[in-house]
Amino acid sequence: MEKVRVGITHGDFNGIGYEVIIKTLINPGIVELCTPIVYGSSKIASYHRKAIENIGDFNFNLVKNAQAANPKRPNIVNIYEQEVKIDIGTSTPIAGKLSLMALEAACEDLKNNQIDVLVTAPINKENIQSDNFKFPGHTEYLAQKFNSTEQLMLMVSNNLRIGVITGHIPLRDVASQLTTELILKKIKILNESLKKDFAIRKPRIAILGINPHAGDGGVLGKEETEIITPAIRQAFDKENIMAFGPFPADGLFGTDNYTKFDGILAIYHDQGMIPFKTLAFDSGVNFTAGLPIVRTSPAHGTAYDIVGKNIASEDSFREAVYLAIDIFKNRKMHAELNKNPLKTTVQDKE
């Protein structure tokens, strides 16, 4: 099997993106699994490389485009040739501009099959804003770029997978935007992703409530009885999806009950992100489920406060690369099984 071509965007170059990218690609085992292609700047990469200790003679292989990538080396494509002022730990307009340029170049290569998957280093969601980027984050940008209305932000760490129904919106807007149709749609996206992307034949999905104690039967709020429960019933009864809930978030994560499910759907951003990052901050990966392309990213941000100190952990970024490779292979296997339904996986036999 040919190695997976992993496109990597450098994100905000004043953040820890280059540090975690380089620390990940130092490992010679990476190029045994994939062909890494960074979209960024070789000059900026060299600047950050000098701040990292004990990396030996590591260097990027500079190529004009993804087609010229060396499968035995970490490669870099220059998306900007001019000199750039680097202000580590600071948000600057030029850093936002180059964040978007890298993202646009990688997406174009994804569309043209020059790379197989996309791994994005952290961006600054303020300085990247422009006429070409008016989105709260990567998820929404990629959904529009690849004409998808079926996306779901999914945080992944080993067998822990938490999706967010309402995504990047203000907390005050969550209840008004919550509908039975939206919840059912996200349940279906998660169910399909768990089967196609994670090779789970019959996933079990938990859905959280929005109110304390999941509404206590309507005493603390009626969203559970009027909106959330009907969506779960439709998913279970009409869509043959193993969906359960609504569960109080504190009770589910306060015990080991969360481990009994293959996927969990939180109603709003922090309801899912706080337990996930508490349990799996160092190893967590952000995966955009539902897109026609594979995109992952580390669970952390630009971390301006530790840039240049050689203390940033590459664990989350490395796991993002591994997950992208695994999902790409799982999708190929899923497609092959659909072509030939007589084939069975080991999991099916069990």
Give per-residue pLDDT as tens, 240-297.
999 999 999 999 999 999 999 999 999 999 999 999 999 988 889 999 999 999 999 9
pTM of this prediction exceeds 0.85? yes
Asked if residue 156 lies in contact with residue 44, where contact means CB atoms within 8 angstroms, the answer is no
Asked if the model's pLDDT at residue 112 lies above 60, the reply is yes
What percentage of the chain has pLDDT greater than the value 90?
A: 83
The predicted pLDDT at position 339 comes to 75
- pLDDT for 282 equals 82
Condensed to tens digits (0 to 9), the pLDDT of residues 72-86 reads 999 999 999 899 999
CATH class of domain segment(s) 1-148+291-339: alpha beta
Q: What confidence tier does 341 reach under pLDDT thresholds 50, 70, 90?
A: low
Q: Are 66 and 38 in contact (CB under 8 A)?
A: no
pLDDT of residue 342: 53
What local confidence, expressed as pLDDT, does residue 168 receive? 83
Crossing angle of the two packed helices 17-25 and 315-339, in degrees rounded to 10: 70
Phi-psi region of 128 (alpha: psi -120 to 50; beta: other; left: phi over 0): alpha
Nearest CA-CA partner of 101 in 80, 123, 83, 129: 80
User: Per-residue confidence at 189, pLDDT binned at 50, 70, 90?
Assistant: very high
* pLDDT band, residue 98 (cuts 50/70/90): very high
Indicate the residue type of 269: H
- Which residues belong to CATH 3.40.718.10 in the chain? 1-148+291-339, 149-287
Confidence band (pLDDT; 50, 70, 90) for 349? very low
In DSSP terms, 133 is beta-bridged to 130
Asked if residue 347 has pLDDT above 50, the reply is no
Place of tokens 């996306």: 151
Residue 1 — very low, low, confident or very high, per pLDDT cuts 50/70/90? low
| CATH number belonging to domain 149-287 | 3.40.718.10
pLDDT of residue 309: 92
